[in-house]
Amino acid sequence: MPLAHEGEISVVIREIAVRDVMMGQHVTLVQPCNLYGCTLGDEVFVGPFVEIQKNTVIGARTKVQSHSFICEYVSIGEDCFIGHGVMFANDLFRDGAPDPNPNSWGRIVIGNGVSIGSGATLLAVSVCAGAVIGAGSVVTRDITERGIYAGNPARLLRKL
């Protein structure tokens, strides 16, 4: 592949940053992490290689482990555990492609005291307080009853 000459390549480089973040007291951020336009409650922990997008709220004492992605319009309650590599996705691809209009994206609400295992994926759902989501699970529907859920799609294994 030939080298490009000056003026032929357009590159935009965006640095990893923590910007426009409202933070409570005693918050811990492990770099590198990319947080913008979000709100973090008191004593929140955010591990390395995490992205938290705007219009997202993380409740007090919640721990977000490394390599997790929390998209826009996610609300996570207090005292939650988000395992390594957890993905939140709220674009519903209604027309078979990414939707550029954030007003049409779903919302994700996670109650207090929820634990989400590593590698889980949560779509536009609500999860009630105290639920446990197993590692690698894919949550495609609201969880309204406290229990342990696992699988693809996630199903109730037992009540708590």
Model confidence pLDDT, tens digit, residues 28-69: 999 999 999 999 999 999 999 999 999 999 999 999 999 999
Question: Which pLDDT score, from 0 to 100, does residue 1 have?
Answer: 45
| Residue 5 pLDDT level (bands cut at 50, 70, 90) | low
pTM score of the predicted model? 0.91
Architecture of domain 18-159: 3 Solenoid (2.160)
User: Could you write out the DSSP letters of every residue in the chain?
Assistant: -PPPPTTS---------EES-EE-TT-EEPSS-EEES-EE-TT-EE-TT-EE-TT-EE-TT-EE-TT-EE-SSEEE-TT-EE-TT-EE-----TTSS----GGGS--EEE-TT-EE-TT-EE-S-EE-TT-EE-TT-EE-S-B-S-EEEETTTTEEEEE-
